Amino acid sequence: MIKKPAKPARDTIAPSDLTFGLSTCKRCIWIKYWFKVTLPGQFPIVGTLSKLQEAQFRGASMPDLDPSLRPGKITKWGEWVKSDYISINGTKTPWRILGIYDVLAENDDGTLGLIDCKVSESERDSGQFYAPQLESYAFALENPAVGKGREVASMGLLVWKPNSVLGDNATNYGFGVEQKYVPVEREPETFFKVIEELITVIDGDFPESGSGCGTCNYLTQRLGLE
């Protein structure tokens, strides 16, 4: 059993922890927030693909991406946002949101449009799976640590699903993708529920490892070989 130090090693919550951190096993989340030790990612190409995708939409018109979106243009990408302190059930916590959004549009009516870029063929990209993560960026934009908040009128995923190979000679090929904008409904209540769950996990004792991630099983088996 690992003992907690006097205080957590960080005081900000990463938006992705609201999607992935709680859905598999809570032990690594606990270790991350108390000791700043993070399980290395296993998807090295995902970041590169997302960056290439983001770059395509700089300056893009929102209704061109999807007719349901308010008139506006993508004016910002890859910027850090930090929120004010999060309150749960009227009580202020010591936690803030800190993260980098993918792309952000300024709508003509003064509101904002938030988009998360994904290169994926996963059926999980249905939108609501990512709602707490996107909602945490919306919370930070509407309740920033510094300055005035702006209303986030829309959130969504811009998904590229690889579906073909392009190219006409032996050395120059690329992947073709099917593009889909997936709207994500605003769900502040779910966001606060998930944040509360995350804070409860962090404040609790060292959690059991879950069954959704095979890394600990692998380590146990590997150490058994020594």
Lay out the sheet containing 96-100: strands in order across: 12-13, 96-100, 80-82
Work out whether strand 96-100 and strand 80-82 pair parallel, antiparallel, or are unpaired: antiparallel
Apex CA 150: angle with CA 146 and CA 151, to 5°?
Answer: 145
Exactly one of 27, 32, 96, 118 binds ligand SF4 (CB under 6 A); that residue is 27
Instruction: Find the helix packing angle between 188-203 and 27-35, rounded to 10°.
Output: 70
Q: For the chain, what is the radius of gyration of the CA atoms?
A: 20
Nearest to 103, CA basis, from 40, 165, 61? 61
With CB under 6 A as the contact rule, the residue among 25, 112, 138, 140 that binds ligand SF4 is 25
Binding of ligand SF4 at residue 24 (CB under 6 A)?
Answer: yes
- Interacting residue with ligand SF4 among 13, 18, 28, 112 (CB under 6 A): 28
User: Per-residue string for binding with ligand SF4, 100-139, x by CB under 6 A?
Assistant: ----------------------------------------
Task: Copy the structure tokens of residue 4.
Answer: 């907690």
Residue 85 dihedral angles phi and psi, to the nearest 5°:
-65, 140
Please tell me the distance from the alpha carbon of residue 10 to that of residue 8, in angstroms, as a whole number.
Answer: 5
- Min separation Cβ 33 and ligand SF4, Å: 13
Q: Which helix (H) or strand (E) holds 40?
A: none
For ligand SF4, the closer CB: 162 or 207 = 207
**Does residue 23 interact with ligand SF4 by CB under 6 A?**
no
Which stretch in 4-12, 40-48, 102-110, 208-216 sits in contact with ligand SF4 by CB under 6 A?
A: 208-216
Binding window for ligand SF4 (CB under 6 A); candidates: 24-32, 40-48, 128-136, 193-201: 24-32
Q: Is 143 in the site for ligand SF4 (CB under 6 A)?
A: no
Residues making contact with ligand SF4 (CB under 6 A): 24-25, 27-28, 39, 209-210, 213, 215-216
